[in-house]
Amino acid sequence: MNKIKKINVYTVKNHSNSDMWLKFLIHPIKSYWGDGTKEWKIYASEFLFYKKYFELSQDVKNSDAAFLPLTLNYYVKMSKLHIAKEFIFNSRDNNLKTYIWVEGDHEINFMKNSKDCIFIQYFGFKSDLKTNEIIKPGDLKKDLLLSFTEKKVKIRKKNKIPVVGFDGLASYPPHKLMNLIFKNIFSKVMYKINLKKINRDHIFPKFLLRKKILNSLDKNKNIKTNFNMRSTFAVGSLGSNKQLRFEFIRNILSSDYTLCFRGSGNYSLRFYETLCLGRIPLFINTDCKLPFEDKINWRDICLWVEFKDINYLSDIILDYHSSLSEKRFIDQQIYCREIWNKYLSKRGFCEHLNKSIRNQISFGNEKSYQ
């Protein structure tokens, strides 16, 4: 096994007070500085592995890369983008690229095509391919197998009729729906006239399409549906209601395939939850970029459906299910979990991010000699 080579990371501590660290400080730096709360010692051990991959430095001239210490969202919220720019330009002047973590579902209009920085974010668009983006997996907080099962994949045997599951937002009271649409229109206008930095890529909520997809599957007698259609955002995803969270996890575990269709952002957190639990995602591709596409053939892992083929969704599911032998169906579940563990868990992503940055550093050094 190759020995892990730490990356010397330039960063600074003067961009915020410690009371902002809990919400905005990026995880590799949080492993060194804490989260600014007295309770940090309870959680510190969960962040120790970052120290195997990254070493913090305040010496910009003897570092390998630069990390903006807080997520880009912090600089937008606190009107401090000028401070972020100063950090990026100082790093650039010392031949360092700045890696920038972005949270949330929406694009932030900030140095999008700059060669001086690389954005680590949840989503991107294949049709708008940018070389300065790294797609990170959805943040599950915890390994779901450790929290909800006996710490191993609960294998499902193959049945003749495929079971498609979904638990989540698929309907909304009309008055709330109209308010949301008007809010999206207002946000879009404010972005277009440069009064907002955050861009929503849609006006009509994507859960309207999701409901249409679910209704079409419900009508097919050759597919068993396991749907809990909710009228509230993320009731089973955020974890504040333990019973609803348990129902959400149980829905994935009791299904052969879980429908994973984009939400407010062009990605699905449910996609990563499904893989983590050792189930096969029914992934509807809406021009998505996924993590580590140069290493993972996602079409071999998911039940992959292009959005343009959505009218044939039932047939695609039935054809896919019938093509799998009993052994292949079981092996696929195990493989989904292995992919999550190797690439998409916090530790797995960190290891491959370390490799990606080292490759970028090597590539940059090669160019500097040309």
H or E segment and range at residue 57: strand 54-57
pLDDT in tens, 211-226: 999 999 999 999 999 9
Mean of pLDDT values over 266-288: 97
The residues, any chain, with a CB within 8 Å of residue 97's CB and separated by 6 or more, are 65, 66, 91, 116, 117, 118, 360, 364
Is the pLDDT reported for residue 52 higher than 60?
A: yes
Is the pLDDT reported for residue 26 higher than 80?
A: yes
Mean of pLDDT values over 34-49: 96
Q: Are residues 168 and 317 in the same domain?
A: yes
Q: Are residues 216 and 309 in the same domain?
A: yes
pLDDT at 367 (0 to 100): 40
Q: What is the number of other CB atoms lying within 10 angstroms of the CB of residue 77? A: 15
**Which carries the bigger pLDDT value, residue 181 or residue 51?**
51
Q: Is residue 1 part of a domain?
A: no
pLDDT in tens, 123-154: 999 998 788 999 999 999 889 999 888 788 99
Is the pLDDT reported for residue 180 higher than 90?
A: no
pLDDT at 363 (0 to 100): 67
pLDDT in tens, 224-276: 999 999 887 666 665 567 889 999 999 999 999 999 999 989 999 999 999 99
Edge-to-edge strand order for the sheet containing 65-67? 54-57, 7-10, 65-67, 98-101, 117-121, 133-135
Is the pLDDT reported for residue 1 higher than 50?
A: no
The residues, any chain, with a CB within 8 Å of residue 355's CB and separated by 6 or more, are none
Using CA atoms, how far residue 11 sits from 61, 87, 94, 255, 273, in Å, is: 12, 9, 13, 45, 32
Q: Are residues 299 and 163 in the same domain?
A: yes
pLDDT at 237 (0 to 100): 61
Phi, psi (rounded to 5 degrees) for 362: -60, -45
pLDDT at 188 (0 to 100): 83
pLDDT at 365 (0 to 100): 54
Asked whether the beta carbons of 196 and 133 are under 8 A apart, the reply is: no
Mean of pLDDT values over 83-110: 96
Q: Are residues 101 and 156 in the same domain?
A: no
Is the pLDDT reported for residue 186 higher than 90?
A: no
Q: Are residues 340 and 350 in the same domain?
A: no
* Domain residue limits at 362: 7-137+346-368
pLDDT at 341 (0 to 100): 97
| 189-203, 277-291, 331-345: least confident range | 189-203
With cut-offs at 50, 70 and 90, classify the pLDDT of residue 354.
Answer: very high
Q: Are residues 182 and 250 in the same domain?
A: yes
Residue 262 maps to which CATH number? Answer: 3.40.50
Is the pLDDT reported for residue 80 higher than 80?
A: yes
Q: Are residues 97 and 226 in the same domain?
A: no
pLDDT in tens, 113-122: 899 999 999 9
Is the pLDDT reported for residue 370 higher than 50?
A: no
CA distance between the termini of the chain: 32
Q: Are residues 88 and 188 in the same domain?
A: no
The dihedral over CA atoms of 332, 337, 340, 341, expressed in degrees to the nearest 10, equals -140
Q: Is residue 235 part of a domain?
A: yes
